[in-house]
Amino acid sequence: MRFLSDLDGFAAIVEGGRRHLQSLEGARLGIAPHSVRAVDAGELEHLVRTFPSGPVHIHPAEQVLEVEECVAWSGARPVEWLLDHIQVDRRWCLIHCTHMTPEETQRLAKSGAVAGLCPVTEGNLGDGTFLGVEYEAAGGHIAVGTDSNVRIAANEESRALEYSQRLRHQRRNRLGLAGRSTGRGLFEMARVGGAQALGLDSVSTGGLASGQAADIVVLDDTHPALVGRTDDAVLDAWIFAAGHVVRDVFAGGRHVVVDGRHFRTSDIRHRYAKAVNRLVHDG
């Protein structure tokens, strides 16, 4: 019930979000109808017409039971149903897509949509593994993120994704290769796919140069996993050997993490503790 909203209520939520985003430079407004289980064809068509621009995120085919229930209801698998009933294109990001047939994998790749993978979450929940090698070979775009708070670490998500494919195929170095180091390949795959999923221009988020977005992560080069590493070997070590080695973060040119600490840490912790205590004692 906590996910439930009618179309008018959803529109009001989106408009409220639009007002708040006016104060956030570079923000993109998108919609996220939760899943194929939560909406029907008529509702999805209405939402796509009402919000014709911006990212669209939706969860399909995360778990076997979800697929079985969708087949029992509609006669089709979740990704199959979505592709048959809705014009899925580059602004769509389908989260998880853990259980797809080879045909669904090919069709989703050809649609131009992004597969938004959450490997640590999917491993934690025992969901299964994505057909990553097949999807990439078909030209599909992949983004990497999280769908829980069990662990928040970009390098560990990429590591879990690559290792899941090695386990599936019983071979090493499976994703994002194209003659590069595996770390570089995974990083570029996630960067390009992530920018698309967020409705951003991947060109403007791609390096240190005039006109770029100035989103910069600085790693601690004194960490044992990174000592002596240069060029792509840094990415290999960060993804496959290191834990928390982020020293500084610049977002849009603003220095938001300094020496491993967010500049608003004290305020955030205070507000969090206040909110939790209110829920526990007053809820």
pLDDT tens readout for residues 95-120:
999 999 999 999 999 999 999 999 99
User: What is the per-residue pLDDT for 227?
Assistant: 97
- CA dist 240 → 105, 150, 190, 222, 270 (Å): 27, 19, 15, 17, 34
| pLDDT, tens digit (0-9, with 9 covering 90-100), for 132-144 | 999 999 999 999 9
Binning pLDDT at 50, 70 and 90, where does residue 154 land? very high
| pLDDT, tens digit (0-9, with 9 covering 90-100), for 217-258 | 999 999 999 999 999 999 999 999 999 999 999 998 999 999
| pLDDT, tens digit (0-9, with 9 covering 90-100), for 120-130 | 999 999 999 99
The question of whether 141 is a catalytic residue gets the answer no
**Nearest Cα to 117, choosing from 153, 147, 80?**
147
Q: What is the CATH number of domain 212-283?
A: 2.30.40.10
CATH class, domain 1-202, is alpha beta
Residue 143 near residue 194 (C-beta atoms within 8 A): yes
User: What is the per-residue pLDDT for 143?
Assistant: 97
pTM exceeding the 0.75 threshold for the entire prediction: yes
Percent of the chain with pLDDT over 90: 84
For the chain, domain boundaries: 1-202, 212-283
**Catalytic residue (one of 57, 96, 99, 141):** 96
**Catalytic residue (one of 99, 127, 141, 147):** 147
Please give the average per-residue pLDDT across 205-215, as a whole number. Answer: 81
Cβ atoms within 10 Å of 57's Cβ, excluding its own: 20
Residue predicted with more confidence, 9 or 202? 9
User: What is the per-residue pLDDT for 22?
Assistant: 92
The question of whether 8 is a catalytic residue gets the answer no
| pLDDT, tens digit (0-9, with 9 covering 90-100), for 37-89 | 888 889 999 999 999 999 999 999 999 999 999 999 999 999 999 999 999 99
What is the token pair recorded at 95?
């989260």
